[in-house]
Amino acid sequence: VSKAVVPDISLIDPQTTTTMSSSLTAATGMDALVHAFEAYVSNASSDITDLHALKAIELVYANLKKAISEPDNMEVRSKMMLGSLHAGMAFSNASLGIVHAMAHSLGGLKDSPHGECNAILLEHSIDFNYAHAPKRYKRILEHIFPNSGSIKQEEIKMNLIKMVRDLRLAVGITTTLSDLGIEKSDLHQLALNANNDACLATNPVDASLEQIEAIYEKIF
């Protein structure tokens, strides 16, 4: 991470995404969703990054399934690309959290697909973080489902977890750590590496080595 590697110009061209396979569309789309979620609950978030993050969540949630079923639909691809851009603008300024810390560790050990790793961790991050950023998570749910105001506080977490899990399954991501070639004996080293990742610094709550390892156990 360095200001020296920020691009001067970015060409945001959805046409280039139409040749991605459905699994790459699913994984990169879920990655964009995680960028937005993590930026929104980041302890370095701000009013500006919040706008980008919520818009990104809205666009990805509304368009990812269709981008897979209608890969040549340029309107849908454009909205996904815009969602990804909004998510990038959010997390470039607010940074990320525990999902990326843990996904970086997985990708580093086995070259596991980044988006897939994020996708299978997102629901567990909500479970882990929720009590430390309840208003933020509530706002995400209200943004996607404007009529969710009457949902009881204790049901918000489960609704959000269901929302992201249903989307993950609908786009065909059912990966477990054993599918990625990870052994039980790898979990401790994975947790050690994740624990040293810079993304943890902006997670809404500190995570201990044991807690990180416990989350890996859940997706094994």
Binding residues (CB under 5 A) for Fe ion: these are 31
Residue 65: which residues within 8 A CB-CB, separation 6 or more? 167, 170, 171
Q: Is 32 exposed, middle or buried (0-12, 13-18, 19+ CB in 10 A)?
A: buried
How near is the Cβ of 80 to Fe ion at its closest, in Å?
15
Closer CB to Fe ion, 156 or 200, in the complex: 200
Residue 103: which residues within 8 A CB-CB, separation 6 or more? 34, 114, 117, 118, 121
Closer CB to Fe ion, 31 or 186, in the complex: 31
How near is the Cβ of 32 to Fe ion at its closest, in Å?
8
Residue 172: left if φ>0, alpha if ψ -120 to 50, beta else—which one? Answer: left
Do 86 and 192 contact (CB within 8 A), yes or no? no
Measured CA distances, 176 to 59, 62, 77, 106 (Å): 27, 26, 28, 12
How near is the Cβ of 137 to Fe ion at its closest, in Å?
19
Closer CB to Fe ion, 156 or 215, in the complex: 215
How near is the Cβ of 131 to Fe ion at its closest, in Å?
24
Closer CB to Fe ion, 121 or 177, in the complex: 121
How near is the Cβ of 12 to Fe ion at its closest, in Å?
17
Which residue is closest to Fe ion by CB? 31
Closer CB to Fe ion, 100 or 138, in the complex: 100
